[in-house]
Structure 1
Amino acid sequence: MTEKKQPWWKTAVVYQIYPKSFQDSNGDGIGDIQGIISRLDYLRELGVDALWISPMYCSPQDDNGYDISDYRNIDPMFGTMEDMEELIRESQKRDIRIVMDLVLNHTSDEHIWFQEAKKSKDNPYHDYYVWRDGKEGELPNDMRAVFGGPAWEWVPQLGQYYFHQFSVKQPDLNWENPKVRREIYDMILWWMEKGIGGFRLDVIDQIAKEPDKKITNNGPRLHDFLRELSKETFQKGELLTVGEAWGANTQNAKLYSNPDGSEFSMVFQFEHMVMDQQEGKDKWDLVPLPFVKLKKNLAKWQTQLYGCGWNSLFWDNHDLPRIVSRWGDDGECREMSAKMLATVLHGMQGTPYIYQGEELGMTNVRFEDISQYRDIEIFNMYKERMQQGYSKSEIWESIYAKGRDNARTPMQWNGSTHGGFTEGTPWIGVNPNYRQINAKAERENPNSVYHYYRRLIQLRKEYPVFVEGKFELLLEEDEQIFAYTRTNESCEMLVCANFSGQNVNCELLSEWRQAKQLIHNVQGKLGEELKPYEAVICIREK
């Protein structure tokens, strides 16, 4: 009996690109597909296996491209379909797969389906969306949209309301309609034929909504829909598929990421990323990170999905602040803490995701004027909190800590003007520290954050214990040390990190002094004391 080969995505490391901010090739200040192509050798050198690229489809950009007006065309802002096909080909030459971002819960109101749907109740496309009869001013119910205001929008010529969970320009698709599902499956198969290596499914846990019952995520038919979607599309190729599910817990994650492949390869869940905000309030209401709680949460996902599911490992993405500024130290200990955070994450079971610039230790930005920001969420919060009487210093502290534009400032390639991102005027300002923190400087320094990431990526491919090892949390109640083991049939691996800016004694290390060090962010041998943000991975045979 031959041993079953691991799916490729279990040993893979994924790199996320926010195309608008990655690399501009034509001087218009906006990143584009040719810019990505020009940096493929950099990504190959880093060692990543797949690129998850935020949406590049035609879009009015009401929600940064997550409002799609044509699933089968590239927005001119980013290039042409020929550019996209070239990107797929050039990536394949370097053994890198392209993972597209796919929004299946809603479209743009400028999509041809919705334009037709609004014409009449008898139009064949009308039932592609979620409608309710009513009278103007008498909403079907009091549901609210995520981006503010009611979740219902009146269309006078029809005498009906349509449902939108997000912007008013993002009408929700009606997944109860088999014609909608067929259109979606055909579109996915069309992209698969072009050589796409996978899909990240945006807010996928919301497609089975039942607005009359005020159900948005985890609707009763959700997993029926997902199994049909997978059977009709994903199972026809060797794809990486990841479902974004803010409502995921360890129980339904086992359905999303069932090893039988009936739904997705893995799940994106966010329990660990909301711990530094006040309970019951929103992300702007800050609290210090409850470190012991964080460890226990990560351990829960490691142990409860072991052998029956698969998780995504991430600290950063296009919606989150830079992790070195958030939970590390972006001052004197920037490099040490960036390496420590990477060590803790990449040592766990799951597929690691690196967000562009994370491998350089890029930091949050501190713009001085609200006009320098671009994110509508920041503008709305600033206006609301000023009206509510918050002090300016409180508001700015929240923006500096949690604003999404922290992740969206341009990639810092070198020390030249605008960090080598563009020869024009960038759509959003570059972080002023680009002269010190940039890819050129990092690649030239063998002890840099960049080279540390390269080594972590290599280790994942060299040592099966990273992929298959059983997880055990150590020093569970320790307020400074994050330590755990990963164990398989042949070896035991220790990951030990000081999550603080103080020296801390760690008796645990004395047991591991003779073990082989796989990676260590401090020069020299292990002592009994961990320096600020010191981290190490050791391994020993059984």
Structure 2
Amino acid sequence: MAQNDWWKKSVVYQVYPRSYQDSNGDGVGDIPGLTSRLEYIKDLGADVIWLNPIYKSPDKDNGYDISDYRNIQADYGTMDDFEKLLQRAHVLGLKIMMDLVVNHTSDQNKWFQESKKSKDNPYRDYYVWRDPVDGHAPNNWGSYFNGPAWKFDEETGQYYLHLFADGQPDLNWENPKVRDEVWDIMRFWLDKGVDGFRMDVINLISKPSGLPDGPQAPGERYANVAKVVADGPRLNEFLQEMNKKVLSKYDVMTVGEMPGSTPEDAIKYTGLDSHELNMVFQFDHVDLASNPDERLSKWNDEPVKLVDLKKSLSKWETSLDGKGWNSLYWNNHDQPRTVSRFGTDEPKYRVRAAKMLGTTLHMMQGTPYVYEGEEIGMTNVHYTKLSQYEDLESLNAYHEFVDEEKIVDKDTMLKYLSHMSRDNARTPMQWDNSENGGFTSGKPWFELNPNYDMINARDSLSDKNSIFYYYKKLIDLRHKSDLIVYGDYELLDPNDDKVFAYKRHYNGETLLVISNFTDQNLSRDYKQNEAKLLISNYEDDEDTKLRAYESKVYLFK
């Protein structure tokens, strides 16, 4: 394994700092709070911490609207606090991966504040400005957060592009000065000693030439911008320039968030000879269930069909094998909780289901990501009132589809939010059963999931059969096994709608993974009685029998 391939054997633990640990009682998680929990992450066995944005921000989108890339958001602490975190992490053998958000900035960023002053301002071309067309927006693009992707500026008489909130204007990557600014920001953090970047929606930075209208589904007010902007004409060029001028000078890990990308796209960006990124975050498997009404898109309460899930994950496993590298994840700060979405959060089966999902993912080829709380089986919060939500995307969708367009009633939309809202992932970490779950001594910035008295880290650490210790075993197996890291992938019985079974092959050895995605008792014979059982989420093994949410891994030599 080459020196710069350490990330292939690594496991990443994602921290959403606002919700992880508050150290000063102001109700907001912070950097000193995270520093105090580093031993917990180390104990789990993770190698890398992916830290969601901690830069200065007005927080219109919880830190993904950055006003100053070289300063720390005051709620999170100071640069000194960050440097202490980095130093302590490195002492423990943990690496820190920062979130790089450079498709857009905050409208409070000094670049944008200058840009909007006049059409001849030196910073004007740092952003995408266009004249009105026939008295309206330059094209029919819609924002990812609902509504139009353009906002009119009265003072200069032009529109600026914002693929997300109107407080998140898109940078103009066609301008070489913008790219140089980004390279300087990256060097600033890499020279401090950070170990890599997760790059937010990085495949949106190259806009299509001429900014043409996009296709609109019947009844849609705006075009689905993901189908128009993703993987633009100069993306490879921009990423190669990033690699040549910055990334190649450091031994770091990079993952690009790429909504809408295909395996063929990912091979171009992560290929062994492409000199761009190490891996991508793809969305195929988390976007499988969608509303039949295209206008509602992701907003639904449908379970994911196992046959579809197997097809999606297997496509990426086989397509990238030997050509690129996968990231493996069930959830993150933008997705509902793993066990609620892909398993069950019913108390009777929650622990089994969480372990089953962990097994299914961690035995695949790629770098696994564990989102804070996943290792103790945290669930969706199941809010029932709109006033309980905080997420801008969720609130915008509710107002557009219920209040403005009236295409869904409020009770149905609340069910959709309960199932799919990003807020499900953002409730504070549940450390113990004391007030506010041990997250803060003050009033938490966001309401905790009320089940923290039953689901928390302290109880997990005191139970040798907990999800935490099971994840620890999964991670340990990966660290010790080239078969798990590098082996190729073979899906078994693709049309089985209850069991996910696959094999991995490497240097004459075979791994067999069998996972029951139901609460039924089943039977499947893959000649597992001829193999050695490596791990299971039950205490015993009944060979061909599969109990509710049972998952087991066998080694054939």
**Alignment-mate amino acid for residue 213 of structure 1:** P
Q: Which residue of 2 aligns with 1:474?
A: 492
2:155 and 2:544 mapped to 1: Cα distance?
75
**Alignment-mate amino acid for residue 115 of structure 1:** Q
Instruction: Deviation per CA, 1:71-105: give whole Å up to 9, x if none.
Output: 11111011111111111111101111111111111
Out of 503, 516, 519, the position equivalent to 1:498 is 516
Structure 1 residue runs of 4 or more that deviate by more than 3 Å after TM superposition: 3-6, 133-138, 381-387, 389-393
Out of 365, 375, 389, the position equivalent to 1:349 is 365
1:111 and 1:4 mapped to 2: Cα distance?
39
Instruction: Tell me the TM-score normalized by structure 1.
Output: 0.96
Deviates more, 1:307-316 or 1:252-261: 252-261
1:7 and 1:127 mapped to 2: Cα distance?
38
Matched residue of 2:302: which SS? Answer: coil
Matched residue of 2:343: which SS? Answer: coil
CA contact (8 A) 1:135 1:159 kept: no
Pairwise CA distance, 1:288: 3.1
CA contact (8 A) 2:303 2:341 kept: no
Matched residue of 2:113: which SS? Answer: helix
Q: Which residue of 1 aligns with 2:90?
A: 92
Matched residue of 1:45: which SS? Answer: helix
1:239 and 1:6 mapped to 2: Cα distance?
7
Matched residue of 1:122: which SS? Answer: coil
Q: Which residue of 1 aligns with 2:222?
A: none
Out of 433, 437, 440, the position equivalent to 1:415 is 433
Q: Which residue of 1 aligns with 2:393?
A: 377
2:154 and 2:285 mapped to 1: Cα distance?
44
Q: Which residue of 2 aligns with 1:158?
A: 156
CA contact (8 A) 1:235 1:261 kept: no
**Alignment-mate amino acid for residue 554 of structure 2:** C
Distance change in 2, residues 1:41/1:523 (3 Å): same
Out of 335, 343, 366, the position equivalent to 1:328 is 343
Report whether the alignment pairs 1:337 with 2:353: yes
Out of 295, 305, 314, the position equivalent to 1:299 is 314
Distance change in 2, residues 1:41/1:495 (3 Å): same
Matched residue of 1:212: which SS? Answer: coil
2:9 and 2:509 mapped to 1: Cα distance?
18
Matched residue of 1:452: which SS? Answer: helix
1:122 and 1:314 mapped to 2: Cα distance?
45
Distance change in 2, residues 1:139/1:524 (3 Å): closer
Q: Which residue of 1 aligns with 2:5?
A: 7
**Alignment-mate amino acid for residue 99 of structure 1:** M
Instruction: Deviation per CA, 1:8-56: give whole Å up to 9, x if none.
Output: 1000000111111000001011100011000000001001011111111
Distance change in 2, residues 1:6/1:475 (3 Å): farther
1:386 and 1:212 mapped to 2: Cα distance?
30
Equivalences for 1:50-69 in 2 at 5 Å?
A: 50-69=48-67
1:145 and 1:152 mapped to 2: Cα distance?
8
Q: Which residue of 2 aligns with 1:431?
A: 449
Out of 17, 20, 24, the position equivalent to 1:19 is 17
Pairwise CA distance, 1:255: 1.0
Distance change in 2, residues 1:471/1:128 (3 Å): same
Matched residue of 1:422: which SS? Answer: coil
Report whether the alignment pairs 1:272 with 2:316: no
1:157 and 1:381 mapped to 2: Cα distance?
29
Matched residue of 1:88: which SS? Answer: helix
Report whether the alignment pairs 1:314 with 2:329: yes
Q: Which residue of 1 aligns with 2:264?
A: 251
Pairwise CA distance, 1:392: 4.3
Distance change in 2, residues 1:145/1:399 (3 Å): closer
Deviates more, 1:482-491 or 1:351-360: 482-491
1:140 and 1:399 mapped to 2: Cα distance?
32
Pairwise CA distance, 1:389: 6.4
**Alignment-mate amino acid for residue 369 of structure 1:** K
2:25 and 2:14 mapped to 1: Cα distance?
23
Q: Which residue of 2 aligns with 1:532?
A: 548
1:6 and 1:488 mapped to 2: Cα distance?
22
| Aligned Cα root-mean-square deviation (Å) | 1.6
Pairwise CA distance, 1:373: 1.9
Pairwise CA distance, 1:159: 2.9
Matched residue of 2:75: which SS? Answer: coil
Matched residue of 1:199: which SS? Answer: strand
Q: Which residue of 1 aligns with 2:212?
A: 213
Unaligned runs of 5+ in 1: none
CA contact (8 A) 1:517 1:538 kept: yes
Pairwise CA distance, 1:377: 2.5
Out of 281, 285, 297, the position equivalent to 2:300 is 285
Instruction: Deviation per CA, 1:288-335: give whole Å up to 9, x if none.
Output: 322112111111111110000111100010111111111212111000
CA contact (8 A) 2:145 2:392 kept: no
Provide the aligned length of Structure 1 versus Structure 2.
Answer: 537
Report whether the alignment pairs 1:104 with 2:102: yes
Matched residue of 1:161: which SS? Answer: strand
Out of 113, 120, 123, the position equivalent to 1:115 is 113
**Alignment-mate amino acid for residue 541 of structure 2:** K
**Alignment-mate amino acid for residue 12 of structure 2:** V
Unaligned runs of 5+ in 2: 214-227
2:178 and 2:400 mapped to 1: Cα distance?
38
Report whether the alignment pairs 1:35 with 2:69: no
**Alignment-mate amino acid for residue 287 of structure 1:** E
Pairwise CA distance, 1:161: 2.2
Distance change in 2, residues 1:6/1:216 (3 Å): closer
1:71 and 1:48 mapped to 2: Cα distance?
27
**Alignment-mate amino acid for residue 504 of structure 1:** L
Distance change in 2, residues 1:364/1:131 (3 Å): same
Instruction: Deviation per CA, 1:143-192: give whole Å up to 9, x if none.
Output: 22222333222223323222221111111111111111111101101110
Matched residue of 2:211: which SS? Answer: helix
Deviates more, 1:514-523 or 1:382-391: 382-391
